Structure 1
Amino acid sequence: MGLLAAGKTDIGMKRKTNQDSIYLNTQKHIFVVADGMGGHKAGDLASQMAVKHIPEYLLAHPGEEPDKACRESIRHANLTIKQKSDTSEDFTGMGTTSVLFYFKGAHLYLGNVGDSRAYLVNGHKLYQLTRDHSLVQEKLNLGIYNRDQAAADPHKNVLVRTVGFEPEVDVDAFTYKVHRNDIFLSCSDGLHGKVSDADILYIINTNIPDPSKATEAQVQKAVDLLVDQANANGGNDNISVILVIAQ
């Protein structure tokens, strides 16, 4: 089973800097989206460190059990970012979200911290594979909020878990059996916060009608149009998107 992938990160329409970073290594089957946060250039640095150190760990430990490697790679990045943040007041409090796709054999090993998301497109349906580590999501989990209240909360972007803020981090990790024609999407909240699930699904299915025959140009076009739609809807945040097709 081969993988076809494309990605893009975009500053959006309102921000002065892009604090998102992405990493694509189709040959080694490793893909990362990171959405940084912090003053000065700290958010930029945190996301850049995540997309450097997560793959670095995986490439240095090819024989490790992949589900363990998935968690440990993000923990490795977390400690490295935290140690960097302690070296200067300019970096204090910096952190980043991270979504990791690590394909091995017939499985996807998925790691997640923060509110960047992973989705599966299968059978013309969009399934969210991750759960946000946000204050609003915790209120949803407890039944304090319904979906409408969550969407209207002015603090919906407040995270309860990030990579790099504390010396240790709890990583959500999942394993999925991969089937031919599965399409996996990872993205920062600049996409999922501005484009509805229905529109995300429509753009992907319209531009990749037959995943088994998809070309790299088709996948890149779908990625570009997702970013364009987020910008058309306001582009209030940086936008990062990675699409991976199992063929």
Structure 2
Amino acid sequence: MVIDVMRRVSAAERYVRRGLWPVQGDYPLGSKVSGKRVGIIGLGNIGSLIAKRLEAFGCVISYNSRNPKRSLPYTYYADVRALSADSDVLVVSCALNSETRHIVGGEVLDALGEGGVVVNVGRGANVDEAALVRALREGRIAGAGLDVFEGEPKVSPELREMENVVLTPHVAVWTAESRSDLRDHTVANLDAFFSGDPLLTPEGLVEGGTLVDGDGCAKGSVLLGDSGGELGTEEVEGGAEHAEVGAAA
């Protein structure tokens, strides 16, 4: 999603489909991903995998979590606004709780600046959607990539109309293969549990309906964990199965 927003891949594809290329000429150039400063809010299992993938592009990684992770070579910011001010791309991959609801609001978006983009693969309410729409409309940030929304499955009409916004229906982690792998992990962990053996994946804490690690970062669940390089959590909300995404890059 970071690549799509920066390179404007989806928007360029729409440009071709609409027959605008021969009429209006070459499509405006996007921006490269390599070398960009990426700030990640929530460096749990999911955030760490995002960081690893973006490092391959030569991105400079910094992050915000409840506590600094001394074993990692990334710069820690206790203040989200300071993190945003030092980032070209702001990725949200944290759990949703009272502390992280609207953790990205108007002030954080202003700190990101007119050349910055925000990508949310955490929870919809981690981002103040109304503030995001205003920032995009007024050109105070360059673009956004959203896999989650405050009122999903309903999505703001304004967001749907913006060419500099990439929208996906809460499916970032899901493929036929990852769903199958997830079921295999679930069965293996259940077998281990009822056999009295250690679980294949670590335990976590539930906050606001989301499984998190000790720093409040979204992570693989007790039963699921790492599935072929993609992380997912599976939980029950209102009696319906729901899967949380795990990859922004």
> What's the TM-score once normalised by structure 2's chain length?
0.33
Point out the structure with max Rg over C-alpha: 2
Higher RCO, 1 or 2 (CA under 8 Å, sep at least 6)? 1
TM-score scaled to structure 1, two decimals? 0.33
More helix by share: 1
